[in-house]
Amino acid sequence: MPPSSESLRITVLGSGTSLGVPSIGCHCDVCSSSDPRDNRLRPSILIRYDGRSVLIDTTPDFRTQALRAKMNRLDAILYTHEHADHIMGLDDVRPFNFRQKCAIPIFGSEETLAAIRRTFHYIFDGHSAESSVPQLETHELDGGPFDLFGLEFRPLRLLHGRSKVFGYRFGTAAYLTDHSEIPPESLDQLRGLDVLFLDALRYKPHPTHSTVERSMAYAEELNPRRTYFTHICHELPHARTECALPPQIRLAYDGLEITVGEP
């Protein structure tokens, strides 16, 4: 039996763009803001249901994010793509290997898994290491849906500049973190949602990311009950940006908890 949507909880582990907010050396209003919602680690969410914890992406901030969210288990990792802000925390899953005494399954496209094998060659080269390395089980996605602990996950193909990346739909929620364009066949998979996450880097156009205006248009077309913007840069102050958005569209922020199917 699939879990009821009420039991599906999403925690935003990070809502920032690749540099994070504040970005190093910047003294702009947002980087100096005292509003905690203007502090944004790199983008990732944790999905919890039926006692399981599924992570989307392992950011360079993963250790901090796991401690902050009081994570005590990790059952699977889904990768959207191989950019550094989405993979570089992979080494920090070792405590979950120690605690759970088993390998952690990771899922991604052929290109993403190949990049992870190159970047973290010491995990996969089979030499007996003197120090510990993450224990992982790789699963290559061909774009079709797959089951994880009784919940169906559907990879959705997105364009991120010239790169092809994945977003994921699960139950009545979907997480799309890096995209400049959502192809029509993926838009068709995003109807009837309760919660939709979309990339909204800033107001100004960018070659590989969506903007506030573009993602507002996507939200209007898809009409989910609630939309959260993520992958946000330091040009968007949380409070002021939200004032200009309709009530069903909000900016995600680090630590935000959402129960899918509930107000």
Nearest of 81, 72, 7, 75 to residue 44 by alpha carbon: 81
Among 4, 6, 28, 246, contact with Zn ion (rule: CB under 5 A): 28
Between 8 and 106, CB nearer to Zn ion: 106
Q: Please tell me the distance from the alpha carbon of residue 189 to that of residue 245, in angstroms, as a whole number.
A: 24
Cα 195 to the center of its chain, rounded Å: 14
Least Cβ distance, residue 172 to Zn ion (angstroms): 24
Do residues 35 and 255 lie in contact, with contact meaning Cβ atoms separated by under 8 Å? no
Least Cβ distance, residue 231 to Zn ion (angstroms): 6
Angle, CA of 61, 118 and 103, to the nearest 5°: 65
Cα 125 to the center of its chain, rounded Å: 28
Among 178, 194, 199, 254, contact with Zn ion (rule: CB under 5 A): 178
Q: Tell me the window of 96-104, 119-127, 175-183, 198-206 that interacts with Zn ion (CB under 5 A).
A: 175-183
Question: Within 10 A of 51 (CB to CB), how many other CB atoms are there?
Answer: 10
Least Cβ distance, residue 100 to Zn ion (angstroms): 28
Least Cβ distance, residue 63 to Zn ion (angstroms): 18
Torsion of CA 65, 68, 69, 75, to 10 degrees: 50
Least Cβ distance, residue 181 to Zn ion (angstroms): 13
Please list, in sequence order, all residues whose beta carbon lies within 8 angstroms of the beta carbon of residue 209, skipping any fewer than 6 positions away: 17, 160, 178, 179, 180, 199, 201, 202, 231
Task: Give, as ranges, the residues between 79 and 118 that touch Zn ion (CB under 5 A).
Answer: 83, 85
Between 47 and 87, CB nearer to Zn ion: 87
Between 26 and 244, CB nearer to Zn ion: 26
Question: Which residues, listed in sequence order, are joined to residue 166 by a DSSP beta bridge?
Answer: 157
Among 179, 202, 214, 234, contact with Zn ion (rule: CB under 5 A): 234
Least Cβ distance, residue 128 to Zn ion (angstroms): 34
The pairing of strands 151-160 and 136-140 is unpaired
Between 25 and 126, CB nearer to Zn ion: 25
Least Cβ distance, residue 58 to Zn ion (angstroms): 12
26 contributes a contact to Zn ion by CB under 5 A: yes
Between 50 and 111, CB nearer to Zn ion: 111
Between 28 and 67, CB nearer to Zn ion: 28
Per-residue tokens: 65: 């994010």
For Zn ion, the binding residues (CB under 5 A) are: 26, 28, 31, 83, 85, 178, 234
